């Protein structure tokens, strides 16, 4: 599908500078643009590429002033915020790629399931009895929806995602391939002989609206009650969320982070890659945790921490400077000890 510069400007509320009839059929980075593609310029360090780009259209900020001649084939669309507008176009483009409603075969939908309007269900998917699927939901191939699962409107399940029984998925969520929602929490207790006995996990998982779950990420069901991920929270690929964990609104976890059971994480928290949080602790709002940190205790609101065990990032950096100087400090200490010993022998 092609769009003209004037159509795009209408979508974005921008102004065309150049050929308003020129059409594009794809999006590209400005340094890689080709005829028939649209790019954007927001960061000044990429300005050099606008003078050589092959793209037919480029979105720029209203205050952009060329410092050299632009390609004769390039049309500009001036907007208030080029980055935000390009993101809007990416979302629009992504929506266009959504499959048309329908049910591919073979797939299984229980007669006791309730599927809303405008849904796409890919081949080899399985929707169990008692499941309630909202409107305009996309379920790609190989997805398993367990018994009594509830799914809100406009949610997307990518291939081979799994949702276990009784879980609740909100509106506008995205579950990527290989993600598992609602597997048993890690609950075992040794008996008198030291043999681990499984503790049944009878709770569920609740994902509120607009939650993103990355590929091969796992969110364990609660032992009792619910594991809860609040609205707007984003989990990267390969993240592990333990049983009875609660994540606040608009919190983000990078890849390979892991949170042990019953830990409570506040809102607007940012957790770097390979961070580990111990169980039964509380992380306050607006906390930032640097990559590879290990957190074993509660963290107050607004703290920035790093290290293993993690503590205040400023103190960590001071400590790290001292750590790097340890060999020098040890050599100086040895020299001092030697001088003291020599002076003692002379006396």
- List per-residue pLDDT tens for the chain, 347 residues long: 789 999 999 999 999 999 999 999 999 999 999 999 999 999 999 999 999 999 999 999 999 999 999 999 999 999 999 999 999 998 888 888 889 999 999 999 999 999 999 999 999 999 999 999 999 999 999 999 999 999 999 999 999 999 999 999 999 999 999 999 999 999 898 999 999 999 999 999 999 999 999 999 999 999 999 999 999 999 999 999 999 999 999 999 999 999 999 999 999 999 999 999 999 999 999 999 999 999 999 999 999 999 887 778 788 777 777 777 888 888 888 888 888 888 877 76
Q: Are 132 and 117 in contact (CB under 8 A)?
A: no
Token representation of residue 227? 């594991």
Q: Are 311 and 299 in contact (CB under 8 A)?
A: no
* Helix, strand, coil percentages in the chain from 3-state DSSP, rounded to 5: 20, 30, 50
Residue boundaries of the structural domains of the chain: 3-96, 102-315
- Contacts with 204 (C-beta within 8 Å, 6 or more apart), sequence order: 165, 166, 167, 168, 182, 221, 222, 226, 227
pLDDT score of 312: 83
Q: Is 280 a catalytic residue?
A: no
The one-character DSSP state at 199 is P
Residue of 25, 144, 243, 280 with catalytic role:
243
With H, G, I as helix, E, B as strand and everything else as coil, classify residue 15. strand
Question: For the domain 3-96, what is the CATH code?
Answer: 3.40.1390.10
pLDDT score of 336: 87
Superfamily of domain 102-315: Hexapeptide repeat proteins (2.160.10.10)
pLDDT score of 220: 98
pLDDT score of 294: 95
pLDDT score of 322: 76
pTM of the model: 0.82
Of the candidates 294, 242, 246, the residue with the CA atom closest to the CA atom of residue 271? 294
CB atoms within 10 A of CB 192: 5
């Amino acid at each position: 599908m092609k769009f003209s510069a004037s159509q795009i400007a209408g979508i974005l509320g921008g102004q065309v500078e150049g050929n308003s009839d020129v059409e594009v059929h794809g999006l590209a980075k400005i340094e890689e643009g080709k005829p028939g593609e649209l790019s954007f310029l927001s960061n000044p360090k990429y300005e050099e590429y606008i003078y050589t780009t092959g793209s037919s259209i480029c979105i720029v900020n209203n205050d952009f002033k060329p410092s050299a001649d632009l390609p004769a084939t390039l049309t500009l669309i001036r907007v208030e915020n080029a980055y935000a507008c390009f993101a809007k176009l990416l979302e629009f483009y992504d929506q266009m790629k959504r499959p048309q409603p329908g049910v591919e075969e073979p797939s299984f939908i229980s007669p006791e399931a309730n599927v809303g309007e405008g849904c796409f269900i890919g081949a080899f998917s399985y929707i169990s009895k008692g499941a309630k699927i909202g409107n305009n939901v996309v379920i790609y191939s190989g997805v398993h929806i367990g018994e009594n699962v509830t799914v809100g409107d406009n949610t997307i399940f990518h291939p081979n995602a799994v949702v276990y029984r009784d879980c609740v998925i909100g509106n506008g969520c995205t579950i990527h391939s290989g993600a598992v929602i609602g597997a048993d929490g890690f609950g075992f207790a040794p008996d008198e002989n030291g043999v681990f006995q499984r503790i049944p996990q009878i709770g569920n998982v609740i994902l509120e609206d607009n939650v993103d779950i990355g590929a091969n990420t796992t969110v364990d069901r609660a032992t009792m009650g619910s594991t809860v991920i609040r609205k707007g929270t984003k989990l990267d690929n390969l993240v592990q969320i333990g049983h009875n964990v609660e994540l606040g609104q608009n919190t983000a976890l990078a890849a390979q982070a892991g949170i042990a059971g019953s830990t409570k994480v506040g809102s607007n928290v940012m957790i770097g890659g390979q961070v580990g949080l111990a169980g039964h602790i509380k992380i306050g709002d607006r906390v930032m945790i640097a990559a590879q940190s290990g957190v074993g205790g509660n963290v107050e609101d607004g703290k920035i921490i790093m290290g293993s065990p993690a503590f205040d990032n400023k103190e960590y950096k001071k400590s790290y400077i001292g750590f790097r100087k340890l060999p020098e400090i040890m050599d100086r200490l040895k020299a001092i000890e030697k001088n003291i010993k020599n002076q003692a022998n002379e006396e």
